[in-house]
Amino acid sequence: MRVSVIQMNQGSNKAANLAQAEALIEAAIAGDRPGLVSLPETWTNLGGGRDARMAAAEVLPAPGAEGGPAYELLRGLARRHGITVHGGSIIENGGEKLFNTTLVFGPDGVEIARYRKIHLFDITAPDGTGYRESALYGGGRDLALFDAGGIRFACTICYDIRFPELYLALRQMGAEAILVPSNFTLQTGKDHWEALLRARAIDTQCWIIAAASFGQYEERGAQRSVYGHSLIADPWGHVVAKASDGKGHATARIDQALTARVRRDMPLLEHRTAAQGWQRA
């Protein structure tokens, strides 16, 4: 199965972001014919402050019911092209709180997975810039996996990548490929992005599929930058596809025979199970 990661340079204009996403997905499909495409984190909005995020938020429907513009765009693209569309994440209006939420649609346009980001990005970057995702968003609790093309995929979002216990749990639940849509800051991305993605691939012996946002955006009058470098890593930790700077996509084929060989020759999951019960001396 071929998968494509879409790299966007979204801003605070939701309509323009939807148009950009559609054009980039159409280009990836025309060029590489993937069975699954993946968008970055919060591809419907980046920047503009609280008001812009609230305006971009959508109330998500019950599966099968009609949704908002982003929801219907994702569903329509999946149905029109007969592929699986992993919608990175959008801003969900959950009533009392917003949520950073992934949506996945199967080739028939039916929603097959929904995941709310568990780990919220409350940090101070090396340049002193503060990020407080929990000031606006609630955190999720439930894990989400889905099947596409005979492969079991799992959902995570951005900051989740720093918590290996989450990825181990997904591997134990049968994941073969883990999606990581992201808006990694330039400051953290240049040092940690590829290292973390490759580490999680090696830890879990899963394919890591990471669509990311690239470039600058405005936030409360200041310019901020996101790192990009969308990539796909195989279960041995090799980066097998990476997007260039700017908008675009990268594509790789998920080789289940490689997954099986890596897991057979280095059976980490079995070894980990055998090593339980440690005690402090």
Asked if residue 156 belongs to a domain, the reply is: yes
Please give the tally of structural domains in the chain: 1
**How far apart, in whole angstroms, are the C-alpha atoms of residue 58 and residue 92?**
5
Q: What is the pLDDT along the chain (281 residues), one digit of tens a residue?
A: 999 999 999 999 999 999 999 999 999 999 999 999 999 999 999 999 889 999 999 999 997 899 999 999 999 999 999 999 999 999 999 988 999 999 999 999 999 999 999 999 998 988 888 889 998 999 999 999 999 999 999 999 999 999 999 999 999 999 999 999 999 999 999 999 999 999 999 999 999 999 999 999 998 788 999 999 999 999 999 999 999 999 999 999 999 999 999 999 999 999 987 777 777 88
Name the catalytic one among 58, 92, 111, 117: 117
Active site residue 117: yes
Does residue 280 fall inside a structural domain?
A: no
- Locate 235 and state its tokens: 């279960």
User: Does 279 map to a domain?
Assistant: no
For 78-115, how does the pLDDT look when each residue is reduced to its tens digit (9 = 90+)? 999 999 999 999 999 998 899 999 999 999 999 999 99
Nearest CA to 83 out of 44, 43, 30 is that of: 30
| Residue 190 appears among annotated catalytic residues | no
The structure's pTM equals 0.96
Query: Residue 63 is part of a domain; what is its CATH number?
Result: 3.60.110.10
Residue at 281 is within a domain: no
Domain that holds residue 169: 2-273
Catalytic residue among 14, 58, 155, 158: 158
Distance, C-alpha 2 to centroid of its chain: 16
Residue 35 within any structural domain of the chain: yes
- Examine the residue annotation and report whether 41 is marked as an active-site residue of this protein: yes
Q: Where are the beta strands (DSSP E) in 61-150?
A: 84-86, 90-93, 98-105, 111-116, 122-124, 130-132, 137-138, 145-148
